[in-house]
Amino acid sequence: MKTIFHTALLLVAACSLAACGGDKNAQEYNTVTLSKGSLSTTVTATGTIEPINQVSVGAQVSGIISKIYVDYNSEVKSGQLLAQIDTSLMAAELRSSEASLASAKAEYENQEKNFARQKSLWEKKLISDTEYESAKYNYDRALSSYNKSQADIVKARKNLGYCYIYSTVDGVVMSRAVEEGQTVASSFNTPELFIIANDLRKMRVIADVDEAEIGEVKEGQRAVFTVDAFPNDTFEGEVTQVRINPTTESNVVTYEGWVDA
């Protein structure tokens, strides 16, 4: 019995060695230690990238653009002069307002003195009530005209100042919508002259997420994205907002997801 047992054992060993050493197509296995991990769900979307903070600079008065001092990609500082509207018309309006103010002031001072005299006489019963009321009416009217002239000159000075277009933030000029010699009209709305990006180091991706996957997107989630200009680079960001207003285009419903990077 022992001999048979040993013989069988040797045969098994020999067969195993032959299988391992002789078959070149034999599979190899690697073993690893078990560990805990996490599973993630990926939502893919496309969208546009834009600065988080961009400011539109417009004109508050109408006129002809006489000078432009910046162009696309110009770095600007807050308070820097960007463009100038022809000031001749606004300067003329200011001079007219100054003349009206001087005339209204003279009339007011004259009526003030006259009313003081008439009031004194009326208190002494030397003039009628009608004369007193007429003097008071003229005084009140002169005062109202004087106050209006003061307001008009403030407006005229402001309008003259609005001919100079200044940057309201530090940043980079992203868009310039006017040329020298072009007329801008602010009758109904403020025309947009420049768009300035405050800080191009802080960008926002507005991604169009399909309605079937929008439920997986939450604020605070990590996001990675690529841009066509840098196909070999991957950028990281965080979901800051999921807008609930859907957009339908070609029967495809999408929602906007905002990612700050």
DSSP symbols for 182-249: -EE--SSSPPEEEEEES-TTSEEEEEEEETTTGGG--TT-EEEEEETTEEEEEEEEEEEEE----EEE
Predicted local confidence at residue 4, as pLDDT:
34
Predicted local confidence at residue 5, as pLDDT:
33
Structure-block tokens of residue 145:
């005209």
Taking every pair of C-alpha atoms in the chain, what is the biggest distance, in angstroms? Answer: 158
Mean residue pLDDT of the chain comes to 85
Q: Which residue has the higher pLDDT, 146 or 230?
A: 146
Greatest mean pLDDT among 7-16, 166-175, 236-245 lies in 166-175
Q: What value does the mean pLDDT take over residues 32-36?
A: 86
The sheet with strand 75-76 has its strands ordered as 54-58, 192-197, 171-176, 75-76
Write down the pTM of the prediction: 0.70
Q: How far apart (Å, rounded) are the C-alpha atoms in residues 61 and 107?
A: 31
Say whether pLDDT at 206 is over 70. yes
Q: What value does the mean pLDDT take over residues 120-135?
A: 92
Q: How far apart (Å, rounded) are the C-alpha atoms in residues 61 and 190?
A: 8
Q: How far apart (Å, rounded) are the C-alpha atoms in residues 159 and 61?
A: 7
Say whether pLDDT at 190 is over 80. no
Say whether pLDDT at 178 is over 80. yes
Predicted local confidence at residue 199, as pLDDT:
82
Predicted local confidence at residue 142, as pLDDT:
95
Say whether pLDDT at 9 is over 50. no
Predicted local confidence at residue 7, as pLDDT:
35
53 — pLDDT class (breaks 50, 70, 90): confident
